[in-house]
Amino acid sequence: MYVVKRLFTMLVTLWVIVTLTFLIMHLIPGDPFATDSKAIPEAVLENMRARYNLDKPLSTQYVLYLKNLLTFDLGPSIQSKTTDVNTLIARGFVPSALLGIQSMLLALFAGIMLGTIAALHHNRALDFISMFIAMLGISIPSFILAPLLIKYMAVQWGLLPVAAWGTWKHTLLPTFALAVTPIAIIARFVRTSMLEVLHQEYIHTAEAKGLPTWKIVLKHGLRNSLIPVLSFIGPLFASVVTGTFVVEKIFAIPGIGKYFVDSIFNRDYPVIMGTTIFYSVVLVVTLFLIDLSYRFIDPRIKLSSKGA
């Protein structure tokens, strides 16, 4: 029952997003056909608008769009003429998701490690070092980190390719550049939450039983301290696997990150809609899965419409 209700809410949420995006997008001034350095005569513009149904009233365009959407057809990209939005997303999602998943795994692993180390050495040198690294990770933006990585790892030391896509080697630098901020955020969350958990009575009981520290941390500490981490991993995961504008551009990754930004500058309406819907679906589904997973991590959490 819970699942059915959730699915229904998800659909309504998506419909609201589609409608709002559609309206807001058409409120922005400008049209897809304005180009630089050459003005197109009005008669020619009219032909172009007619081709993409942009000459019809907005309500008609909206109904047409929803109709196509029901058949999962996101329409043609106005900019690229020969490619439709479904193809654009399908093509770009593979590299974006690959990088995203790789960097999330790295971020989870490194972030939990750093956070746990910091918590176990609370207020001692290792704590400060870990948190210092985390601070750096949060404060260095990826558009600075990425060129630095290229400059040293690729150009000066020649260890890895500068950019582009192809082999696993090409994925290393962008994965790292993408993971740094999440590592830092996860580390700080884990540390706080772990500190709290380590002061719980069941931990003291475990200590009293004479269990080794690593076992206490892994079995009792980590599991319980991961719940707050989970709740923000959902949105983070959704945004990372759907590509990022800056990192993908700097490393020339053939992902979908750029469409989120370019489509708006280009007023490429079908692409704006398509990327927004795609991102929303990934986000809504991820959140749903995360909610389900709480139950497995902590059976005390009951799934109910209210609790969700």
Q: Which is nearer to another protein, 165 or 232 (CB)?
A: 165
Q: Which is nearer to another protein, 87 or 293 (CB)?
A: 87
Q: Which is nearer to another protein, 14 or 162 (CB)?
A: 162
What does the angle CA 287 – CA 10 – CA 284 come to, to the nearest 5 degrees? 25
Q: For residues 212 and 283, is the Cβ–Cβ distance under 8 A?
A: no
Nearest approach, Cβ of residue 177 and another protein (Å): 12
Nearest approach, Cβ of residue 92 and another protein (Å): 7
Nearest approach, Cβ of residue 277 and another protein (Å): 20
Q: Which is nearer to another protein, 51 or 67 (CB)?
A: 51
Whole-number Å distance between alpha carbons of 88 and 85: 5
Nearest approach, Cβ of residue 21 and another protein (Å): 17
286 contact partners, CB below 8 Å, separation of at least 6: 234, 235, 237, 238
Whole-number Å distance between alpha carbons of 243 and 101: 10
Whole-number Å distance between alpha carbons of 116 and 110: 10
Nearest approach, Cβ of residue 218 and another protein (Å): 41
Q: Which is nearer to another protein, 57 or 158 (CB)?
A: 158
Q: DSSP letter string over 292-308? A: HHHHHH-TTSPP-TTT-
Q: Residues interacting with another protein, by CB under 8 A?
A: 28-31, 34-44, 47-48, 50-51, 79-83, 91-92, 147, 150-151, 154-155, 158, 161-166, 249-252, 254-255, 258, 261-263, 265-267
